[in-house]
Amino acid sequence: MSQARVSRRNFLKLSSAAVGAFALGQALPAPVARAARQAGLIDADGDGYLPTMCEMCVWRCGVRAKVVKGRVVKLEGNPEHPHSLGRLCARGQSGLMNTYDPDRVLFPLVRVGKRGEGRFRQATWDEALDIVAQKMLEIKEKYGPEAMIFSSTHNLSQVQFENLLNGYGSPNYGTQRSLCFNAMVTAFLLTYGVEEPARNYDDVKFILLVGRNLAEAISTSETSALVDALSRGAKLVVLDPRFTKTAALADEWLPIRPGADAAFLLAMINVIVTEELADCEFVKKYVVGCDELPQAMQDYTPEWAESKTGVPAGTIRRMAHEYAAAGHNAMAHPGWRTSNFINSFQTERAIATLNALSGNVLKPGGCLIAASPEASGVPLGKPPQPPYPRISALRLDGVPWKYPLVPLKLGVFQEMRDAILSGQPYQARGWFIARQNPVLSLPDRNRTLEALGKLDFIVAVDVILNDTAWFSDVVLPEASYLERYDPLNVVGGKIFIRQPVIEPQGEARSALWIYKQLGERLGLGNYFQYADEEDYLRQQLAPLGLSLEELKVKGYLDPEIERKNNGEIVFNTPSGKIEVYSETLAKAGFSPWPAWEEPPVPPAGQFYLLTGKVAQHTQFATQNNQYLHKYQDEPRLWMNTGAANSLGLKDGDLVEVTSAVGSARIPLLATQAIRPDCVYLTPGFGHLSKGLRTAYGVGASDSTLHVTYTDPVSGGQALSQTFVRVRKV
């Protein structure tokens, strides 16, 4: 026991010695969470366990937080949450260091130096919010509401963020989605009418992962389910130009040529339909285009695909046979971040089609859940609000006037940045950015910085001074996910809560509070009709007659909802069926069938620059977390050992990587674990903000290298389509 006492004291000493220059006058340790004490979750000494929800990525695992004397000391996966099932990944485990990061922004900041100098002064909330509101009203009056861009990476308070932008009247809504899953979501919406089909590993026998790196891009319960399935003897085939840690789990790793996944998949479809190996009964009943599919696929033979993919025709044919033999126990995984090439939409359409042929959708034990026979939604309430003002201005990101099939809520983020620079179709003037770091996430960082330079006003909401906040005029400090409430989240028919485990440190405040305060100053108070966070949650629970107090104690509620299920399977597409042939695509001028579109290849002497994931970090947001920093690998540029030898490079050499738009310096990792025509740069590093003292100076940013290419159908940025030269420094 004395051991724990000593080390805790040291821990406190360590964190108070490291008080940030930006956390001007750091507050005393946060008081014990009032609401938790009232709910009986924390005793008089400030000790207890509280159920809440993780926010280290978007999987949103259930968490049990251990609190000792009002301080969070440990997080555990909540066994009762279907996304954690009692476990947390490295990021989830590190979450307390997100809260106790010595670089937390704990007070509103107003810029005093030049943009990018990082010189700020502390302001009160009233002053900071008044400045933001005044600037936003000025822009609205002078240039119209459309001159203001709003962007935020998806989170549970997004619904109130959307109230802010829609109430204000701007059509310009930026998300991270076009840098992530536009191709997957758009393809599955068009084919099945669902954004993201659920995966079921219970009886899976054959798993095809097309670049889905579940061992490093971890969704805790799904990653566990994959490893369980492999232990039970399921076969795993991984298509990836890189030998990832997922590939290391695979029975077969196929190092396919980047951009050629669709050719591999189309050839599998060709074999299955030509040899009549599909689940005919299912396909005839539920698939639009089943009769014409063999003809539409006739050119995509395994021999043809071999020339595109570098995978032998015999292997492709064997994969088709094994996939088909597994019947509805086969899964072609839809993937997640599928923004790789301008043909990534076609890759996803081919994956959607392959699943349709196996009949794995909806069958008992089937591996994909892409339609719902029941009304599974839980009818949560929400505060009343007036309708939004009519918005007539075009969206700067080209949706739908340039990208007709991209869903409005996905958008084309990179296009929005380019519109700031071009001033077309009109000039943007301000940018409201919440929990997002476009300086590092968007391709071509120099262009992003140039775009920021063209704006009159930039405001950022974040818990730390990330690179975008560093270039902002006002920074509004958000409470960390362990310090605040967010709107409720429904998973598997149960309602889960995120609740404050400790009171916010310093002057940090929840997004629900920040958006309401700002909304009221903008004259939009009617869109924020809740007294405080708890009132918001109570209004959500009201129609169900459920109690917030019970929810706070249990962490979740399981409402008894009468679910309608008449047994009829209906897909939410125009035809009500799975649209392998899509009339919608045809009308928009695209191929109605999954089709091959030739991607560019690197010129001689250049490499594909691949991006990817490491299990210790989430995109560009967690590199300053000291626990994750402690256990991360040094960021490197991976190159095949043979390719390195032929360039006279050896492991550990400092190299310069140069693309058409920028260059970066980074040590080389010479490895067998990558195709000889590719390099891979550990993503997420190369931060510009000196307010991130743990992360600053570590690694290089691939966004300095990425060239902006947009998939014309889904709007996804082609993140692996940049070609680079590499030389020794």
Partner 1 sequence: MAQKKRSGFVIDVSRCIDCRACLVACSAENNVGMKYTRIWVRDLGVKGEYPNLQRTFVPYNCMHCDNPPCTEVCVSGATYKDQDTGLVLVDQEACIGCGYCVDACPYNARYLDHERGVVDKCSGCIQRLQIGQQPACVTTCVGKARLFGDLNDPNSEASIALKNARTVQRLDYEKDGVHTGPNIYFINGEVLEDASVLPRDPRYPAAEATWKEILVPAVLAGIGLSFVGQATFFTKQLLEGEKE
In angstroms, give the least distance from the CB of 215 to partner 1: 4
> x/- contact string, 92-131, with partner 1 (CB under 8 A)?
xxx-x-----------------------------------
Assigned token pair, 308: 């595109």
Near partner 1 by CB under 8 A: residue from 43, 325, 365, 631: 631
Residue pair 84/100 in contact (Cβ under 8 Å)? The answer is no
Residue 197: is the preceding peptide bond cis (ω within 30°)?
A: no
Q: Any residues with CB less than 8 A from the CB of 77 and at least 6 apart, and which? A: 61, 62, 63, 64, 84, 85, 86, 87, 88, 92, 220
Question: By C-alpha distance, which of 325, 335, 328, 212 is closest to 271?
Answer: 325
Residue pair 499/485 in contact (Cβ under 8 Å)? The answer is yes
Does residue 334 bind partner 1 (CB under 8 A)?
no
In angstroms, give the least distance from the CB of 555 to partner 1: 17
In angstroms, give the least distance from the CB of 337 to partner 1: 17
Near partner 1 by CB under 8 A: residue from 87, 318, 409, 521: 87
Q: Any residues with CB less than 8 A from the CB of 394 and at least 6 apart, and which? A: 146, 171, 401, 425, 426
Nearer to partner 1, 630 or 728 (CB): 630
Residues in the chain: 729
Near partner 1 by CB under 8 A: residue from 62, 255, 594, 691: 255
- The window from 6-14, 104-112, 204-212, 460-468 that contacts partner 1 (CB under 8 A) reads 6-14
How many residues interact with partner 1 (rule CB under 8 A)? Answer: 60
Query: For residue 674, which phi and psi values (nearest 5 degrees)?
Result: -155, 150
User: How large is the angle between the packed helices 445-453 and 413-422, nearest 10 degrees?
Assistant: 50
Nearer to partner 1, 540 or 626 (CB): 626
Q: Please state whether 215 falls in left (phi above 0), alpha (psi between -120 and 50) or beta.
A: alpha
Near partner 1 by CB under 8 A: residue from 107, 150, 192, 253: 253
Nearer to partner 1, 77 or 197 (CB): 77
Does residue 682 bind partner 1 (CB under 8 A)?
no
In angstroms, give the least distance from the CB of 613 to partner 1: 11
Q: CA 569, CA 359: separation in Å to the nearest integer? A: 13
Near partner 1 by CB under 8 A: residue from 37, 115, 245, 382: 245
Does residue 392 bind partner 1 (CB under 8 A)?
no
- The window from 46-54, 190-198, 240-248, 449-457 that contacts partner 1 (CB under 8 A) reads 240-248
Nearer to partner 1, 2 or 392 (CB): 2
Q: CA 326, CA 237: separation in Å to the nearest integer? A: 13
Q: CA 165, CA 153: separation in Å to the nearest integer? A: 14
Nearer to partner 1, 222 or 597 (CB): 222
- The window from 88-96, 284-292, 497-505, 553-561 that contacts partner 1 (CB under 8 A) reads 88-96
Residues 639-668 interacting with partner 1 (rule: CB under 8 A): 640-642
Dihedral sign (CA 206, 212, 215, 217): negative
In angstroms, give the least distance from the CB of 57 to partner 1: 12
Near partner 1 by CB under 8 A: residue from 615, 666, 688, 718: 615
Residues 15-74 interacting with partner 1 (rule: CB under 8 A): 73-74
Does residue 382 bind partner 1 (CB under 8 A)?
no
Nearer to partner 1, 340 or 640 (CB): 640
Near partner 1 by CB under 8 A: residue from 532, 634, 646, 665: 634
Nearer to partner 1, 471 or 627 (CB): 627
Q: Any residues with CB less than 8 A from the CB of 600 and at least 6 apart, and which? A: 259, 721, 723
Does residue 136 bind partner 1 (CB under 8 A)?
no
**Tokens 């459309």 belong to which residue?**
146
Query: What are the C-alpha distances in Å from 236 to residues 204, 258, 280, 340?
Result: 10, 20, 25, 22
Residues 516-535 interacting with partner 1 (rule: CB under 8 A): none
Does residue 621 bind partner 1 (CB under 8 A)?
no
Near partner 1 by CB under 8 A: residue from 403, 527, 536, 627: 627
Nearer to partner 1, 6 or 660 (CB): 6
Residue pair 533/485 in contact (Cβ under 8 Å)? The answer is yes
Nearer to partner 1, 186 or 220 (CB): 220
Does residue 626 bind partner 1 (CB under 8 A)?
yes
Nearer to partner 1, 27 or 673 (CB): 673
Nearer to partner 1, 34 or 232 (CB): 232
Q: SS3 of 625, please?
A: coil
Nearer to partner 1, 57 or 288 (CB): 57
Near partner 1 by CB under 8 A: residue from 48, 62, 70, 77: 77
Residue pair 651/669 in contact (Cβ under 8 Å)? The answer is yes
Does residue 622 bind partner 1 (CB under 8 A)?
no
Nearer to partner 1, 58 or 673 (CB): 673
Q: CA 22, CA 109: separation in Å to the nearest integer? A: 8
Near partner 1 by CB under 8 A: residue from 88, 183, 356, 458: 88
Near partner 1 by CB under 8 A: residue from 50, 89, 469, 657: 89
Buried b (16+ CB within 10 A) or exposed e, 133-171: bebbeebbeebebbbbbbbbbebbbbebbbbbbbbbbbb
In this structure, the strands spanning 148-152 and 173-174 are parallel
Residues 274-293 interacting with partner 1 (rule: CB under 8 A): none
Does residue 616 bind partner 1 (CB under 8 A)?
yes
Question: By C-alpha distance, which of 115, 107, 113, 164 is closest to 140?
Answer: 164
Please give the single-letter amino acid code of residue 48.
Answer: G
Q: CA 565, CA 488: separation in Å to the nearest integer? A: 25
CA angle 337/157/401 to nearest 5° reads 55
Assigned token pair, 329: 């126990």
DSSP run (H or E) holding 252: strand 252-254
Convert 367-404 into a string of H (helix), E (strand) and C (coil): CEECCCCCCCCCCCCCCCCCCCCCCCCCCCCCCCCCCC
Does residue 233 bind partner 1 (CB under 8 A)?
no
Alpha helices in 589-640 (DSSP H): 626-631
Near partner 1 by CB under 8 A: residue from 99, 152, 191, 223: 223
Does residue 264 bind partner 1 (CB under 8 A)?
no
Nearer to partner 1, 525 or 697 (CB): 697
Does residue 420 bind partner 1 (CB under 8 A)?
no
Dihedral sign (CA 526, 531, 534, 538): negative
Tell me which DSSP letter residue 179 carries: G
Nearer to partner 1, 89 or 692 (CB): 89
- The window from 27-35, 91-99, 353-361, 391-399 that contacts partner 1 (CB under 8 A) reads 91-99
In angstroms, give the least distance from the CB of 226 to partner 1: 9
Near partner 1 by CB under 8 A: residue from 121, 285, 630, 665: 630
Q: Return residues touching partner 1 (CB under 8 A).
A: 1-4, 6-8, 10-11, 14, 73-77, 86-90, 92-94, 96, 215-216, 218, 220, 223-224, 227-228, 230-231, 243, 245-249, 253-255, 615-616, 626-632, 634, 640-642, 671-673, 676
